Chains A and B, each alone.
Chain A
Amino acid sequence: MRRRTLLASSAALAAAPLLPARAAGKTTIVWWHAMTAQLNDEVNRIADSFNKSQDEIEVQPVYKGGYADTLTATIAAVRAGQAPHLVQIFEVGTGTMLTAGKAVKQVWELSKETGVKLDPAAYIPAVRGYYSLSDGRMASMPFNSSTAVMWYNKDAFRKAGLDPAKPPATWPEVEAAARAIKEKSAAEIPMTTSWPVWIQLEQYAALHNLPYATKENGFAGLDTQLEIAAKPMVKQVQRLLDMAKEGTFRYAGRDNAPDPLLLSGQAGIHFNSSGMRGALVKSAKYDWGVAYLPYDPSLIKEPLNSIIGGASLWTMTAPNRTPAEYKAAATFLAYLGKPETDAAWHQATGYVPVTLAGFELSKTQGFYEKNPGADLPVKQLARGHVTPNSKGLRLGRLPEIRNIIQEELEKALQGGQSAQQAMDAATTRGNKVLRDFQKSVKA
């Protein structure tokens, strides 16, 4: 008897996920995301407050692993015809998602079909641009965006005889500061960087209005080629190599592996996402500051906007999905774009506000007076006019290309090749990836 109950209940359990996404007359929206720890709590809080704000739609956030795992899971789900309604995809997956064809419903399409207003003009241009088609129609909904900034140890600056209120603004100033830190032994590691390719090359190109790839960084077509072996880019790599040789720059690993060096106070200058603020507030036991990414005055007088990192939300399609479900998804996306939602998310997480109104609201709420420097990433994103070079990158398999460049960079830092050789090799290997991608998409 007991065994029979067990069998019956396990059968019921197995059948449960197959039940139509509908509970008590509500439309259920499944939202896959990649947010952990405190960010996960915030995602749940947003879903909760949305669910409480009305009684027709129920949003269910589901954590699906890291960004790459979430993308892989999404692809598998699409192939099985069971994609969730909404999914959070990192910015470098945008190029791949744009080739998803009927598997996704782009924002402009969703808005048109459901009649829910999702206005691109409400979003900060540098954010919106990354997720839009070249004609300005939005493909995915900006959600968590950050940008790269320079963090520095004010105590180390003081010890090195530098003015902690005046962080270096240009690369020559950064080099001088790092040298001073090294000479006075003000910090164990004068300078390091997380996400070397994203920050030291992709951001660098945007800031200096340099093309990263042909065809408007890939926005204008799949037949794009990397342009990272151009002189100004090689110059930047050479600078890092020189600084490493001099002992003023320490390469400390891929992705965000070097972060602990700043948190522990071992690093004088560190480059990382603006999203690091929360971690610093929580665990840095010294006086730290945030500054704009440095620029090279010989290349540009006024640096352009930096580009974003982070992720956006894609609306997925599935067989048997009803118009009501799309409408519910669109309603939730519209809710995310409300200034109150956006400002609360920004203030709780350290991501930048993605809407202009969310930024304004944070200002009027006095958030930046209480948290000096928290608006610097937004200002850096919003300065100047977005050019084709500062709109972001639209390259297929960008994670792979980043990895290739990182590998070649590492080989150069080991002394195995020159800066020019590294960028040439990365270009050749990267272009092959771009051609493979082009071929697979045309298939």
Chain B
Amino acid sequence: MDRRTIFGGQLLPALLVLPQLVLTLFFFYWPAAEAVWSSMTTTDPFGQGSVFVGLENFAELFSDPLYLQAILRTVGFCLAVSVLAMAVALLLAVFADREIRGRAIYRTLLIWPYAVAPALSAVLFLFLLNPQVGLIGRWLNRHGIPWDYHLDGGQALLMVVLASAWKQVSYNFIFYLAGLQSIPRAVVEAARMDGARGWRRFRTITLPLLAPTTFFLLVVNLVYAAFDTFGTIYAITKGGPGQATETLVIKVYRDGMINQDIGGSSAQSVVLMLGVIVVTAVQFRFMGRRTSA
């Protein structure tokens, strides 16, 4: 079934993967090892003296109720962003998959937001939702709906979820569209012959056949929401009000770069790294099972 190109000998394959290995070594393993090391030390900002403290930084982290809250908040945020971004993308993909005039234009326009930098998407949402200068924000306040994400934590969270999800819809859209197009017409036709219509056909035929795509997207979206939303959140709320929008990545940045708490911040990075390892392992396991089945 698989077609594979087999290189002879040992040297050539080794040579071919070497650049990637070197890059991984320098840009991943080395910094990661540094992070693990500094997560077990207490050091002054200038690194003039550092003391090995073992797992003290981690113990402190997990005894801090604010950190535990941040974990829960991040999980909630990631799920909200992923579900929203994927649901909207699926809906749009289903519509764009139909025979409609100007299909190519719709598709191109839908893919556009993916190219927008996080900080810019944040600014776009500020222009819409800022209570003083935003189009929608002003409108809401004028019509007696108090809207002020500077003070209302729920609204702030809603706003960063919207801005983060909006950016990811395009990516999901591409994958869902491709997924829809790869569903064999015959299966759909057969369902149609059996009298399955509209929603029922979608639920019983399309959705299950999209499951692999959905699973892949879920993992990608969770990782996106956990890590790549930093720019968007930082530009909109800086983590506030209170800590309403402070996700783990924002906290790592704040503690490490602004507060110069290198040890504590490294410990948080290590925890995040473990999280990514777990998510990736789960993905490989399930994806692997699927291809071998």
- Residues of A near any B CB (own CB < 8 A): 68, 71-72, 75, 78-79, 96, 99-103, 251-255, 257, 260-261, 266, 397, 399-400, 403, 406-408, 410-411, 413-414, 416, 429, 433, 436, 439-441, 443
Contact = CB atoms under 8 A, between A and B. Distances in A.
A402 B269 CA distance: 24
Main secondary structure, interface of B, reads loop
A399 B264 CA distance: 16
The A interface is mostly helix, strand or loop, or mixed, namely helix
Interface residues of B, number: 32
Contact of B47 (A71, A78, A397, A410): A78
A410 B151 contact: yes
A96 B260 contact: yes
A266 B138 CA distance: 13
Contacts of A408: 242
Nearest to B152: A414
Contact of B238 (A96, A254, A436): A254
B264 A436 contact: yes
Given A75-B46, A103-B48, 5 more contacts: A72-B260, A78-B46, A78-B47, A251-B150, A414-B151
25 contacts: A68-B257, A68-B258, A75-B46, A75-B47, A78-B46, A99-B44, A100-B48, A252-B132, A254-B238, A257-B150, A397-B260, A399-B258, A400-B255, A400-B259, A403-B258, A407-B240, A407-B243, A410-B241, A439-B42, A440-B42, A440-B43, A440-B44, A440-B261, A443-B49, A443-B51
Contacts of A443: 41-44, 49-51
Contacts of B211: none
Interface in B124-169: 132-133, 150-153
Given A68-B257, A254-B240, A440-B263, A99 B152 contact: no
A75 B260 contact: yes
Given A414-B241, A440-B42, A266 B261 contact: no
A400 B45 CA distance: 14
Contacts of B243: 407
Interface in B239-258: 240-243, 254-255, 257-258
Interface in B66-94: 66
A392 to B, nearest CB: 20
Interface string B27-71: 000000000000001111111111100000000000000100000
Contacts of A406: 240
Contacts of B257: 68, 72
Contacts, number: 92
A61 B292 CA distance: 61
Contacts of B153: 414
Contacts of A68: 257-258
A227 to B, nearest CB: 21
Q: Which 7 A-B pairs have the closest CB atoms?
A: A410-B241, A400-B259, A443-B51, A253-B150, A411-B242, A79-B47, A410-B242
A79 B242 CA distance: 33
A68 to B, nearest CB: 5
A100 B240 contact: no
Contact of A102 (B48, B50, B132, B133): B48
Contacts of A400: 254-255, 258-259, 261
Contacts of B238: 254-255
A32 to B, nearest CB: 15
A96 B45 contact: yes
A399 B42 contact: no
Q: Which of B240, B241, B259 has the most CB of A within 10 A?
A: B259
Contacts of B132: 252, 260-261, 266
A99 B42 CA distance: 15
A315 to B, nearest CB: 15
A30 to B, nearest CB: 18
